[in-house]
Chain A
């Protein structure tokens, strides 16, 4: 049993590729991402086998096409159909050897029609290997001004830092100490405090770093990340989407106590302030649980042990998360 010869035989693969990750694995690697030394993406697609020989197609693609495929917006058929140069490399290897036994240049037009993937040959995330990449890709679509893009970047970094904090105790005591007796007076201050606080809570080395950016419409933004934290961010966004009404209800319960507390401060009504500060705890705990936090103490401690500021911190985090979700829901910025 042998494989039918396809394409025009080459002596060797004319491009050097480095393995990045396995995207689909089912009784063998079916789909994998490779990169050239300059970062150009290729997909390796399992195509055929005969006895000990396996044939894979190496498809040169683009950052955006790959991101769209991973987002379920492009099928494998589209990826092959849009292969750069209108051709792929067909690489035959023995199962027990790394060196290919045959490499061929295969124009897509020569691919037998019955072996072209179906129209709905979409990515199956459930087949991805548990080993996760240390990069977070955000697929951008629609109109993005520089200002909006910068805002998206800040929001992602803030949510990331907040969730990194939830798993560690990198609280900067100097910042938390200053926050202990600070009174958050208005919306702008509230947001700025959140931004400043999350910015200083984690050492700069642990914040996500921009790895690459390909901006067009659509475009791609890539960060170097800690895989576990990046996973938490994606899960948090997914959760707020799945539990939209419930989640907002908990946020509004906390937010209304915070607004009332602000009014009590303005009136100088110390009794009401003390009472309302006590009543923050319950809705804050409920919102924290809704958002998946097991231990709210870390949030209190980040706020210098001040429940009022802790409540503001949590409420602002919710708004940041909801904003990221709204970009995803509108298909403007999807985390892959």
Chain B
């Protein structure tokens, strides 16, 4: 049985990760160029002081389509003009494999979902830059 990358931390969050499907298909994520391991650090590690360490903060934020990701980015940048400094200013896509972890059901409106990685997963080689946002 596969072990989650952050299993020790998830133990403190009841019901986390939620019911997940095996990762598959193409996913989109905001990254910096060039892509490094820093682009796949969960929020809970990036912002350790924040109280909002919900289950999703231990997952990797992804979108199911280029369009859904671009739409969200455009919405975010209207409110937070510096958001590119935090999320990156490029869109990358990658093919997810069951060995990467489990994915939550994409949100029907935003197309956003989370990947809860298995131990040993390295997403850097799986993702390639699509374009600058």
- Residues of A with Cβ closer than 8 Å to B? 19, 22, 24-31, 45-50, 54, 76, 93-98, 114-118, 120-121, 124, 126, 129-131
Contacts and interface: CB of A to CB of B under 8 A. Distances in A.
Given A27-B46, A116-B81, 16 more contacts: A19-B51, A22-B52, A25-B56, A26-B76, A28-B50, A28-B86, A31-B79, A49-B82, A95-B48, A96-B48, A114-B81, A115-B81, A117-B78, A126-B109, A126-B112, A130-B54
Contacts of A28: 43, 46-47, 50, 86
A9 B32 CA distance: 32
Mostly helix, strand, loop or mixed at chain A's interface?
mixed
18 contacts: A25-B54, A26-B76, A27-B43, A27-B46, A27-B61, A27-B87, A28-B46, A30-B76, A45-B80, A46-B86, A49-B82, A49-B85, A50-B85, A54-B47, A93-B49, A95-B49, A117-B78, A130-B54
A49 B49 contact: no
B99 interface: no
B54 A131 contact: yes
Given A28-B47, A129-B54, A48 B75 contact: no
Nearest to A55: B82
Contact of B52 (A25, A93, A115, A118): A25
A118 B49 contact: no
Given A46-B80, A115-B81, A29 B110 contact: no
6 cross-chain pairs, A with B, having the tightest CB-CB distances, nearest first? A118-B78, A121-B79, A48-B82, A121-B78, A115-B81, A28-B47
A49 B54 contact: no
Interface residues of B, number: 28
Nearest to A25: B52
Given A28-B46, A96-B48, A129-B52, A118 B79 contact: yes
B86 A49 contact: yes
Nearest to B50: A29
B81 A117 contact: yes
B79 A117 contact: yes
A30 B79 contact: yes
Contacts of B52: 22, 25, 29, 129
A126 B110 contact: yes
B67 interface: no
Contacts of B86: 27-28, 46, 49
A141 B25 CA distance: 47
Contacts of B49: 93-98
Contacts of B80: 30, 45-47, 117
B75 A124 contact: yes
B54 A126 contact: no
Nearest to A30: B80
Interface string B10-35: 00000000000000000000000000
Nearest to B54: A129
A97 B50 CA distance: 9
Interface string B62-82: 000000000010011011111
B107 interface: yes
Nearest to A47: B82
Nearest to A24: B79
B79 A95 contact: no
Nearest to A93: B49
A47 B86 CA distance: 10
A96 B46 CA distance: 9
Contacts of A30: 76, 79-80
A48 B82 CA distance: 6
Contacts of B110: 126
Contacts of B61: 26-27
Interface in B83-120: 83, 85-87, 107, 109-110, 112
